[in-house]
Amino acid sequence: MNFDTRNIRNVVLLGHSGSGKTTLAEAMLFEGKAISRRGKVEDQSTVSDYTDLEHERGNSIFGTLLHVLWKDSKINIVDTPGSDDFVGEVISSLKVADTGVVALNARSGVEVGTELIWEYIEKFKTPALFAINHIDHEKADFDTTLEQARQRFGNHVIPVQYPLNPGAGFNKIVDALRMVMYVFPEGGGKPDKQPIPASEQERAMEMHNALVEAAAENDEGLMERFFEQGTLSEEELTEGLRIAIAHQQIFPVFCCSALQDMGSGRIMGFINDVCPSPADRPAAELEGGGTLACDSKDSATVFVFKTVSEPRVGNLSYFKVYSGVLHSGDELVNVENRSAERFGQIYLANGKDREGVNALMAGDIGVTVKLKNTHTNNTLNIKGVDRKIDPIHFPTPRIDVGVHQPNKNDMEKLMKALHTIAEEDPTLIIEQSKALKQTLLYGQGQLHLDLIKHRIEMVYGVSMEYVRPRIPYRETITRVANTMYRHKKQTGGAGQFAEVHMRIEPYHEGMPAPTDLSVKNVEVDELPWGGKLVYQWCIVGGTIDARFSNAIKKGIMQKMEEGPLTGSSCQDIRVSIFDGKMHPVDSNDMAFMVASVQAFRQAFAEAAPQLLEPIHDVEILCSDEVMGDVMGDLQTRRAIIMGMDSDGHYQKILARVPLAELYLYSSSLRSFTQGRAKFTRAFAEYAQVPGDIQQRLIEAHKAETEHEA
């Protein structure tokens, strides 16, 4: 059965770990009769969270696609992880969703993880509603949670319902939109509709009027009727709310106990009746400008938002049809690489279960298998159409580790497995650093990287270890030094001879040319690792033939790539070659390369060398009660506090921290704040390493090179 675009709802479940998203998804499937009994997370029987990894951990790790039929509509649901270590799953799901359902835990209130999610809701301009869950918990506090949501997310957060008896005996919800009270039987399910008690009429009517005003604000005709009649009909109210939600001018708040299946059916009804279809959302942005409306009458355009490698199946590609109709057997062209891909079979998904369909209309979400050259963020079009959906922009990594393979024979197998996982997970970045002589993994947090390791070992059968990543220090100088080096070697027959006189000095933009040297030629090189080398040829009288200039420069570059202090790359140095000697027979390129390497090494040691370290801008968002702990910890990491500010009811700390002090910071921060803080980091600059640390690093490098020798 194919659903028209206007009868499709694409919903993403969002929220902090422990807010009950997976249980809510289970209740929604049950309410829509997609399943006959509700599974439980602790029993490992839910439709979502079906992988072995999720069963082991007891919570969501991957975004899971589900669907359910409701009245005349099809509701696609994506259940997402709550940990910000897996934010990539959240972002890719938000990309294709038309409504976000943000689950809040009534006993914990608005937690830091929800802040991150809200940033992306605002970025994608996604309509959203709140579901305050766990109302049946003995410590549930609906009013406090609602107030926190209003403080953090603004006055557009407006309650539709409230629980009449929260806590252990919860079974009654007052609905201010329909002005009715729902009374649930023991064990949940379909409620009885009863009149709102007289004692609650005033509160319910106040909430009802707030909803009516929010609905009327967006339509002059509705506003006039509201002023004339003092209220709106149910149809008028629904239409006004639909417009308000679509423009993020209202974020309705519902309450529920997903575990008891109390309130989930009402949320489903609201999604069906009021929340936008793909056709109601703004046209999708195209890369390079322009937009694409969600229209089934247009040519087919498909966007792959998630890729999963499944044993015995291969790559599963999760996609959204942005325009046109996709039929089973259609051949589309990948804009990225111009390869043709045949959609031999297309499926609807409920977790690991998939059912084949003949076609999907614009706005719908589905799965296919065995696309050979297509990955996450790729757009495919019917032949002759050339348009590309603006890709998902994933966040930069917050943590990095070095990779060690105990068995060198398995290194190729390990790298293949890592690249397979990286294709599925764009927030994982692999770098084989030539400068650091290390394979590095960059991820969103320690949990993220730990689970990558677990998958590598359990799924691919390859052992791996994480080690401390080497720091990309830089070496430079702080004063001028002149030196010379003569290379002379006689081996019988032709020998080697070269003498190089060299000046090195710290380089900065706009520095004047030397007054005591005659500069014949200047070469300015932007170094691959950052900074510059300025190479000046100042030979007068032909003491060294100009044909040896390139060999001398090559020797300097060779030594700059692995600097004299710690083997780190050198930067921002001006080198002047001002004198030397050569031999008519024994001088050659190799001799001058050797001489320049040694001359540079000697001059560097005499020029007050300085080690530089990468400094990162770190932004931490935390609750008031852990701010002191965060500040104290930063002081132990040589951090410089750049500023503090409040962000809603959270505190924001801005600091500059040496990269060397950020190793395992993600897990440390989570540990001492009990998860009530999050952070982002970005490279800021290189700065001088303190003298005692510099000496320690030099000695460690010396010991390492002596050991290797």
Per-residue confidence (pLDDT) for residue 46, from 0 to 100: 95
pLDDT band at residue 394, thresholds of 50, 70 and 90? very high
Counting Cβ atoms within 10 Å, is residue 398 exposed (0-12), middle (13-18) or buried (19+)?
buried
Calculate the dihedral angle through the C-alpha atoms of 81, 84, 86, 89, rounding to the nearest 10 degrees. 70
Per-residue pLDDT reduced to its tens digit, 323-355? 999 999 999 999 999 999 999 999 999 999 999
Q: What is the pTM of this model?
A: 0.85
Structure tokens at 608: 């007050």
Per-residue confidence (pLDDT) for residue 708, from 0 to 100: 65
* Gap between the Cα atoms of 445 and 447, Å rounded: 5
Q: Give me the mean pLDDT over the 459-472 stretch.
A: 92
Per-residue confidence (pLDDT) for residue 676, from 0 to 100: 78
* Gap between the Cα atoms of 584 and 664, Å rounded: 59
The answer to whether 553 and 523 are in contact (CB under 8 A) is yes
The answer to whether 301 and 323 are in contact (CB under 8 A) is yes
Residues in CB range of 155: below 8 A, 6 or more apart: none
Q: For the chain, what are the domain ranges?
A: 5-168+248-280, 284-382, 399-467, 475-607, 612-692
Per-residue confidence (pLDDT) for residue 493, from 0 to 100: 67
Per-residue confidence (pLDDT) for residue 212, from 0 to 100: 87
DSSP letters spanning 644-665: EEEETTEEEEEEEEEGGG-TTH
3-state secondary structure 7-64: HEEEEEEEECCCCCHHHHHHHHHHHCCCCCCCCCCCCCCCCCCCCHHHHHHCCCCCCE
The runs of H, that is alpha helices, within 367-445 are: 411-424
Q: Buried b vs exposed e over 637-654: b needs ≥16 C-beta within 10 Å?
A: bebeeeeeeeeeebbebe
Residue 492 has pLDDT above 70, yes or no: no
Counting Cβ atoms within 10 Å, is residue 600 exposed (0-12), middle (13-18) or buried (19+)?
buried
Per-residue confidence (pLDDT) for residue 84, from 0 to 100: 86
- Topology (CATH) of 284-382: Elongation Factor Tu (Ef-tu); domain 3 (2.40.30)
The CATH superfamily label for domain 399-467 reads Elongation Factor G (Translational Gtpase), domain 3 (3.30.70.870)
Per-residue confidence (pLDDT) for residue 436, from 0 to 100: 87
In three-state secondary structure terms, 295 is coil
532 forms beta bridges with: 526
User: Between 369 and 230, where is the model more confident?
Assistant: 369
Residues in CB range of 54: below 8 A, 6 or more apart: 60, 61, 62
Residue 239 has pLDDT above 90, yes or no: no
Crossing angle for the helix pair 220-229 and 234-246, nearest 10 degrees?
140
DSSP 8-state class, residue 460 = S
368 forms beta bridges with: 317, 346
Structure tokens at 264: 């989930």
Per-residue confidence (pLDDT) for residue 408, from 0 to 100: 81
For residue 194, give Cα distances in angstroms to 179, 198, 207, 219.
10, 12, 18, 32
Mean of all residue pLDDT scores within the chain: 92
Calculate the dihedral angle through the C-alpha atoms of 343, 26, 106, 16, rounding to the nearest 10 degrees. -30
Residue 115 has pLDDT above 60, yes or no: yes
Structure tokens at 201: 């009429």
Reference 112, options 12, 18, 249; nearest CA is 18
* Gap between the Cα atoms of 587 and 580, Å rounded: 12
Range in 217-231, 534-548, 625-639 with the lowest mean pLDDT: 217-231
* Gap between the Cα atoms of 560 and 527, Å rounded: 10
Range in 53-57, 185-189, 416-420, 563-567 with the lowest mean pLDDT: 53-57
Q: Buried b vs exposed e over 116-154: b needs ≥16 C-beta within 10 Å?
A: bbbebbeebebbbbbbbbbbbbeebbbeebbebbbebbe
In three-state secondary structure terms, 423 is helix
Residue 200 has pLDDT above 90, yes or no: yes
* Gap between the Cα atoms of 387 and 500, Å rounded: 59
The answer to whether 9 and 77 are in contact (CB under 8 A) is no
The answer to whether 362 and 324 are in contact (CB under 8 A) is yes
- Topology (CATH) of 475-607: Ribosomal Protein S5; domain 2 (3.30.230)
User: Between 253 and 647, where is the model more confident?
Assistant: 253
Residue 83 has pLDDT above 90, yes or no: no
In three-state secondary structure terms, 682 is strand
* Gap between the Cα atoms of 200 and 177, Å rounded: 14
Pairing type for strands 8-15 and 99-105 reads parallel
Per-residue confidence (pLDDT) for residue 259, from 0 to 100: 95
For the CA atoms of the chain, what is the radius of gyration? 32
Residue 709 has pLDDT above 60, yes or no: no
* Gap between the Cα atoms of 46 and 39, Å rounded: 4
Residues in CB range of 444: below 8 A, 6 or more apart: 84, 85, 86, 87, 88, 395, 397, 398, 399, 427
Same fold, 399-467 and 612-692: yes
Range in 164-168, 221-225, 253-257 with the lowest mean pLDDT: 221-225
Range in 319-328, 364-373, 375-384, 698-707 with the lowest mean pLDDT: 698-707
In three-state secondary structure terms, 265 is helix
For residue 664, give the amino acid letter.
Answer: L
- 612-692 to CATH, choices 3.10.28.10, 3.50.50.60, 3.30.70.240, 3.40.50.280: 3.30.70.240
Q: Give me the mean pLDDT over the 389-409 stretch.
A: 91
Ranges of beta strands (E only) in 596-698 are 609-622, 640-647, 650-658, 677-688
Query: Percent of the chain, pLDDT > 90?
Result: 77
Per-residue confidence (pLDDT) for residue 225, from 0 to 100: 73
Residue 142, H or E segment: helix 142-153
Per-residue confidence (pLDDT) for residue 631, from 0 to 100: 95
Calculate the dihedral angle through the C-alpha atoms of 227, 229, 233, 238, rounding to the nearest 10 degrees. 10
- 5-168+248-280 to CATH, choices 3.40.50.1220, 2.160.20.10, 3.40.50.300, 3.40.50.970: 3.40.50.300
In three-state secondary structure terms, 131 is strand
